[in-house]
Structure formats: structure tokens, C-alpha cells
Amino acid sequence: MEKLTNKEEEIMHILWKLEKGFVKDVMAEIKEDKPHYNTLSTIIRNLEEKGYVSYKAYGKTHEYYPIVSKETYRKGFMNTAIDNYFNNSYKNMVSFFAKEEKISVEELKEIIALIENKK
């Protein structure tokens, strides 16, 4: 999967939420820093070229929809982040969040229980 820019990722989150929509529908969901309509249209076409979205044509108008699921993207994103920032170690990742106090002891116990129940 080709890496997305921050703006492309923002647009994908909107399309995952909407499930399908025209450029104007996506524009309506953007709360801050609304791009120009043509800029947004270009971003969505870039997402199509990268293989993340497809469309159904209605004359000259296109209704876009994601063809990569949020879950598939999340897995790829997390695998890349763990590889790039934590030396491909989930232990290093969990340790980082524990040290930063982003994860509680209770949450860690829940994670351990999940792992033990999988066995």
C-alpha cells in the first residue's frame, strides 16, 4: 500500500465514515481548513490513483467510495509504525506507551488477559 499524506488520510477517514459520497459530501464533513473544491477533487483522484478509492460515474459527476477498508489500512499503518519506530518490537511499543503514561496498569492487564485467552 502506498503511503498517504496527512490530508489524504483525513479524506479517507471521511470516506470510511460516509461509505460513499460526492466531493461536495466530503467537503461538508471537513470542519477546519477547508480546501478549495478543485483541490479536494484532486486529492480524491490521487486516492483513486493510489488504489484507495473507486467511483461510480453519473455523467460528469463521480460518487467515490473506499476500496481499502479502515481495518486493512490500520494494520498496514501500525506494522509500518512498529517497524520504523519500535524496531519491529511490540514490547518496545507497549513499553513506550507505559513510560509515557498513555496506558494504565488495568489496560495492560486487559491486554495480557486477551493474549492468554487466545492460547
60-78 pLDDT, tens digit each: 999 999 999 999 999 999 9
- For residues 75 and 55, membership in a common domain is answered with no
Count of structural domains, the chain: 2
Cβ atoms of residues 22 and 65 within 8 Å: no
Q: What is the pLDDT of residue 60?
A: 93
CA distance 16 to 74: 12
Nearest to 110 by CA among 94, 99, 88: 94
In a domain, 93, yes or no: yes
Residue 16 has pLDDT above 90, yes or no: yes
| Residue 26 identity (one-letter amino acid) | V
Angle, in degrees to the nearest 10, between helices 90-99 and 105-118: 160
Q: What is the pLDDT of residue 3?
A: 86
Express each pLDDT in 26-43 by its tens digit.
999 999 999 999 999 999
In a domain, 1, yes or no: no
Average pLDDT, the chain: 94
Q: Give the chain's largest Cα–Cα span.
A: 56
pLDDT-derived band of residue 119, with 50, 70 and 90 as boundaries? low
